A and B are shown apart, each in its own frame.
Chain A
Amino acid sequence: MPLNAESPGASGLNVAVLVSIGRHPLTARTRRADQDARAVEMALSLKGASVNLMHAGQHDSDNEEAIRGYLGMGVEEIRLLEQMPQADVVPVLTDALRASAPQLVLTGTRAETGEGSGILPYLLAEALGWPVINGLAAVEKVEKGVATVLQALPRGKRRRLRVRLPAIATVDASAPAARQSAFGPARRGELDVQPHASEADPSLSQWQIQPARKRPKRLKIVKSSSARDRFKAAAAKSDGGGGQTLTDVTPEQGAEAIFKLLREEGVLR
């Protein structure tokens, strides 16, 4: 069932999808990660594109089951760049991407296990010198090495971007849901395990990792007799208050504004 009915023609496009091991929020069972699966879905819905899946991590039975979840979407093979536990996967992924030279790299916005900081796509983009787009909602067309894509912004807004390939794009929950993973193709799919030297991540080994918990949200009490108002108040995302929207600014001006904000907030000193 093609979820992206009007999938754009992208014949000859070479797409790499970086996938990670997911973790179910309630039961902590390993599974295909939701956002990464959406990235695979997006890649598979690009007509004519050749799709290559890559995972850098350990090869054990739990992981294999999760990885097979991606194969079950109808992917024939996945490359497993074998790494030690707690290795920094950026170098090995950078090398692999440089070698296979895809035009488009798709991945989830953040992993469900490990650091889950969402910084990996940016580090890769920096290392490769490629542009990075977050919140990819759709690829509209690819022509002469330039992709026209839709980027998802908060509250259902969309922004059309043109990006020169090769590029890295991350996918979040606003991308189309992943197709069902089927047992047959998952069982048949190939795991191409390639041992690679691992670079230990020194800081990671000192960290203490615990499952994230959703923080309780204080509800605003709306004293209004109209159900409509109460519903709106309950459904609306809380406004951050303040802030400003910059439109039509140069990248330098944008960066300037972000810097300023980070200084004000004390993130950068």
Chain B
Amino acid sequence: MLDILLPILIFSALLLTVIGAVRRFRLWRQGRSAPVDWVGGLLKMPRRYLVDLHHIVDRDKYISKTHVATAGGFVLAALLAIIVHGFGLHSRILGWALLAATACMFTGALFVAKRRVDPPSRLSKGPWMRLPKSLLAFAASFFIVTLPVAGILPADFGGWILAAILAVGVAWGVSEMFLGMTWGGPVKHAFAGALHLAWHRRPERFTTPHNASAARSSGLKALDLENPKSTLGVEKPADFTWNQLLGFDACVQCGRCEAMCPAFAAGQPLNPKKLIQDMVIGMRGGTDANYYGSPYPGKPVGEHGGSPNGPIVPREGRALVDAETLWSCTTCRACVEECPMMIEHVDAIVDMRRFLTLEHGNTPNKGAEVLDNLIATDNPGGFDPDSRLHWAADLNLPLMADKGEADVLLWLGDGVFDMRNQRTLRSLIKVLRAAEVDFAVLGNEERDSGDVARRLGDEATFQTLARRNIRAMSQYRFSRIVTCDPHSFHVLKNEYGELGTADMPSDYEVYHHSTFINELVKGGSLTFKAWKGGSVTYHDPCYLGRYNGEYEAPRDVLRALGIEVKEMARSGYRSRCCGGGGGAPITDIPGKQRIPDMRMGDVRETGADTVAVGCPQCTAMLEGVVEPRADIKDIAELVADALVIDASAGKGASNREASQTQRNVEEVTP
């Protein structure tokens, strides 16, 4: 009887699966067109999955091993089951192979079941709680129906009762595992995930080495503003590119992004996992009532819904997502870094912000004011753009306009208007002078890099600022740019490139000051006194670390100073954001606690007296935490303080300059 039933079950399930796949594919294709390498992508997919993705999946060893057993066992079992039971090819060898595959899958499924006994809050419940049982049912039923094939049991063993039970088990198993894949069950992630890997919007993310800047591909993509018909950002789910939609659909609701999100931890109304699920809901149409994971803090589930062509954030009232959810994000990229499905949360969030700013004109709190300032004065604070160098009146900074060329273009950033950051800049200049670096600054020709405007969704202002900066820089010759601001660093390095023209190319070699100082140290241009301060920890800025993969240079510099870094639990690629990125301090969405306070808590746990930083934003955010707390020192300050300036070497003018700088530094440092 099973001989007749199984092929019917298997093939009808397969047929329905194919129908479901076509429907799913059409759901994705509601999105905007995006060019992909159809065949090449599919061919590269196995490698992307087995090699490139593995290092992310493997961060959770338990689930990584479990997944290998379950998914590996399943894929093999499914193929063999189709041959053996579908086509009735009752070969003994295949039977044994199928037994092995189902046994492997069964073992894996047991571990899935174990994880589900008391699941961590980041995991979704609902249908996901059913999954281990379905996996077990699939594996067990196929195991038993295969026993006769392998010659272990007689063909008619168990009679019709067992046959009926097995038929039910197989039906359950194939429904979950085949149908669920394309009709929206938990196993959907395998289908959508595989295709997402094949047709990913940023295929360069699958290059090795994974930590290289190119493989991070963290620069936002430019909007085409020349074409008056182009959509400005994303208003409705169908405005995403189709492979973005495909990416959202691949989410396995593992909640790793949620666990890392600083805004979620601070109780702000954002949860990257829910956001991705909301996009899936929008793509399909419906409400979030069937979402079984953690909600946006403070926002009950079941009140939001949308449709592919309905607004995501309406001007008034409620739809798929509330604006404050989008404005809570610090663009720290912790979610993207963790996501085993390579989903690009930050791209999606900025896409939606673009619409809110460029079409609705609805950037919350100080957003509108900051953007107006950027437009009118080229800096977010609304300061006189001709006063950019006032802080350095005594430093005699060499201007590009005078020199025309220099080895290093020192990009000062908007920190020039901030008294705290001026101290960092002074230190950096002292270091550069001590190492006799040939540098110059743009002075009043420099403008805000456009980072904040872009993260606030104002692509137009970003592009204007960027183009004017590119024009200013194109007049001069320099071999590299050095900056102490990771945000300028990232934008200059990764986001200006797209905006260059043939006669004004904008591919720069950009160094964060920690990388540059590290080179100076390695080259022996700097000598330090012994470190006498207390213990030090280091806070990785998101835009240096996760965005650009620079984790080592700052640590090397600290080591060269004789400092042994006491690492925080969350450091390196898992560093927790200071809360200062993405314009979050400007949009200022309230939560239960403040992100910098939580980060300072991390610092406190190490017992360090000083936290070394490499970013003006981090400095400002962390120094905003009430005392008692660790001191905050930029790497440049620590280096400058430790410098031994050799006054006897008779280096003439540069030497006098250096000692003069030193005195100046002493005047301002308390």
Contacts and interface: CB of A to CB of B under 8 A. Distances in A.
B361 interface: yes
A26 B377 CA distance: 8
A27 B468 CA distance: 16
Contacts of B361: 72-74, 179-182, 185
Contacts of A29: 375-376
- Which 3 interchain pairs have the tightest Cβ spacing? A182-B361, A180-B361, A180-B368
B358 to A, nearest CB: 4
B358 A24 contact: no
B376 A31 contact: yes
A187 interface: yes
Name which of A1, A26, A179, A184 has the most chain B CB atoms within 10 A of its CB.
A184
A188 interface: yes
B352 to A, nearest CB: 14
Interface string A220-247: 0000000000000000000000000000
B460 interface: yes
B384 A26 contact: yes
A26 B382 contact: yes
Interface string B343-374: 00000000000000111111100011001100
- Tier of interface size on chain B: 20 to 34
B228 A187 contact: yes
A183 interface: yes
Contacts of A184: 232, 358-359
B232 A183 contact: yes
Contact of B376 (A26, A182, A187): A26
Interface string B218-237: 00000001001000100000
B458 interface: yes
Interface string A117-137: 000000000000000000000
Contact of A24 (B362, B363, B377): B377
A184 B362 CA distance: 12
Name which of B375, B383, B384 has the most chain A CB atoms within 10 A of its CB.
B375
Given A26-B382, A188-B228, A183 B376 contact: no
Interface string A164-203: 0000000000000001111111011000000000000000
A4 to B, nearest CB: 14
B385 interface: yes
Contacts of B362: 1, 180, 182
B302 to A, nearest CB: 26
B589 to A, nearest CB: 15
Name which of B361, B372, B378 has the most chain A CB atoms within 10 A of its CB.
B361
Given A24-B377, A72-B361, A183 B382 contact: no
A180 B371 contact: yes
A188 B230 CA distance: 11
Interface string A8-26: 0000000000000000101
Contacts, number: 53
- Tier of interface size on chain A: 10 to 19
A64 to B, nearest CB: 15
9 contacts: A26-B385, A27-B376, A181-B361, A182-B357, A183-B225, A183-B232, A184-B358, A185-B359, A187-B228
A27 B378 CA distance: 10
A150 to B, nearest CB: 25
Prevailing SS type, chain B contact patch: helix
A260 B377 CA distance: 46
A233 B385 CA distance: 33
Contacts of A74: 361
Interface string B451-471: 000000011100000000000
Nearest to A26: B384
A183 B377 contact: no
B275 to A, nearest CB: 22
Given A27-B378, A73-B361, A183-B358, 20 more contacts: A24-B376, A24-B377, A26-B384, A26-B385, A27-B377, A27-B384, A27-B385, A31-B375, A72-B361, A180-B362, A181-B361, A182-B357, A182-B359, A182-B360, A182-B362, A183-B357, A183-B359, A183-B458, A184-B232, A184-B358
B362 to A, nearest CB: 6
Nearest to B232: A184
A185 B372 CA distance: 16
B384 A182 contact: no
Contacts of B378: 27
Interface in A44-87: 72-74
A113 to B, nearest CB: 15
A90 B661 CA distance: 60
Nearest to B458: A183
Nearest to B459: A183
Contacts of B384: 26-27
Given A26-B382, A26-B384, A27-B385, A182 B358 contact: yes
Interface in A21-39: 24, 26-27, 29, 31
Contacts of B460: 183
Contacts of B359: 182-185
A187 to B, nearest CB: 6
A36 B110 CA distance: 70
Contacts of B458: 183
A90 B368 CA distance: 33
A198 to B, nearest CB: 30
Nearest to A184: B359
Name which of B367, B376, B383 has the most chain A CB atoms within 10 A of its CB.
B376
Nearest to B358: A183
Contacts of B375: 29, 31
A73 B225 CA distance: 19
Nearest to B363: A180
A188 B228 CA distance: 8
A182 B353 CA distance: 12
Name which of B362, B372, B384, B385 has the most chain A CB atoms within 10 A of its CB.
B372
Contacts of B360: 182
Contacts of B228: 187-188
A259 to B, nearest CB: 42
A183 B384 CA distance: 24
Contacts of A181: 361
B486 to A, nearest CB: 27
B377 to A, nearest CB: 6
